[in-house]
Amino acid sequence: MARAPRFSVSSTTAYETCPRRYRFGYLDRVKVDRGLAPQHWRFGSVVHAGLEAAYKRHREAGTDDHLDHAVPVALEAVRASWVSEAMPDDPAELTRAETIVADDLAATRLAPRDILGVEHWFTTKTDDGLTVGGAADLVVRADRSTVEIRDHKVTTHTRSAEQLAGDFQLGVYGWFALRTWPWAERVVVAHHYPITRELVRIPLDDAWIGRSMERLQGVAHLTLADADFAPVPGEHCSNCVYIDLCDAAVRPS
């Protein structure tokens, strides 16, 4: 069984949830039917696809801080993603996804030159030799010395800045940002809620980044030392795309 060459926030949380889930996804790399994933996850991916297409078009062709011109491209991406995500034949739900994306873009103001990355892939090595990676939904230059990393959250349940403090994923993103853009003296992280059109921001600090990376590296070393990847059954089994492969899974009654 080949060891995963790269560690990430998602691989960390997969192992913490259930080592067997980690093995299926990151070592065996088992291919699964996307339609087995919870529908609300796939709906979120559809909205993400629309926003990603729009921001990329805006970065390439935008002339001011309005994103209206990118809406047609975004809606094409929504429809294509609806198919690739194996979403149901539900015109009302598809229209809802299109409306969320179009309304959010119409309300957003962002200069094309300030977009540093869209679905920006980070990859680098830690001091102890681990290769770590991850993708941020949107990275922008907030001012001459500040990088802002935005994570799209397709939910109506928003978190306050105080609730974001210490968030594992955002802390790891900050670590990446400081190594990618040496001119950055400050990193701000944010959750962007396209349904409610809210943007909740909070600045990172060194302690937050340090705790996040300590967690990621600690779990990475656990995976490298694990020979069994024993299952940890529980309620999370119902959201696992590998449930049909696992004899220890807790199945819905």
Tens-place pLDDT, residues 89-121: 999 999 999 999 999 999 999 999 999 999 999
**Residue 77: what pLDDT?**
98
Sheet strands (E) in the chain: 115-125, 131-143, 146-152, 186-193, 198-203
Range of the domain at 156: 112-222
Do 79 and 148 have their domain in common? no
Do 85 and 128 have their domain in common? no
Do 194 and 238 have their domain in common? no
For residue 22, tell me if it sits in a domain. Answer: yes
Residue 181 to residues 5, 139, 140, 144, 197, Cα–Cα distance (Å)? 24, 11, 11, 11, 28
**Residue 2: what pLDDT?**
53
**Residue 1: what pLDDT?**
47
Alpha carbon distance, N-terminus to C-terminus of the chain: 33
For residue 2, tell me if it sits in a domain. Answer: no
> The pTM is what?
0.89
**Residue 251: what pLDDT?**
77
**Residue 249: what pLDDT?**
83
For every residue of 18-79, DSSP letters joined together read -HHHHIIIIIS-----GGGS-HHHHHHHHHHHHHHHHHHHHHHH--SSB-GGGHHHHHHHHH
Which parts of the chain sit beneath pLDDT 70?
A: 1-4, 35-36, 253
- Overall number of domains in the chain: 2
For residue 94, tell me if it sits in a domain. Answer: yes
For residue 3, tell me if it sits in a domain. Answer: no
Do 209 and 234 have their domain in common? no
For residue 250, tell me if it sits in a domain. Answer: no
Do 78 and 126 have their domain in common? no
Do 123 and 218 have their domain in common? yes
For residue 15, tell me if it sits in a domain. Answer: yes
Do 138 and 102 have their domain in common? no
Do 102 and 146 have their domain in common? no
Do 50 and 83 have their domain in common? yes
For residue 1, tell me if it sits in a domain. Answer: no
Do 145 and 77 have their domain in common? no
**Residue 5: what pLDDT?**
72
Do 106 and 116 have their domain in common? no
Do 18 and 103 have their domain in common? yes
For residue 168, tell me if it sits in a domain. Answer: yes
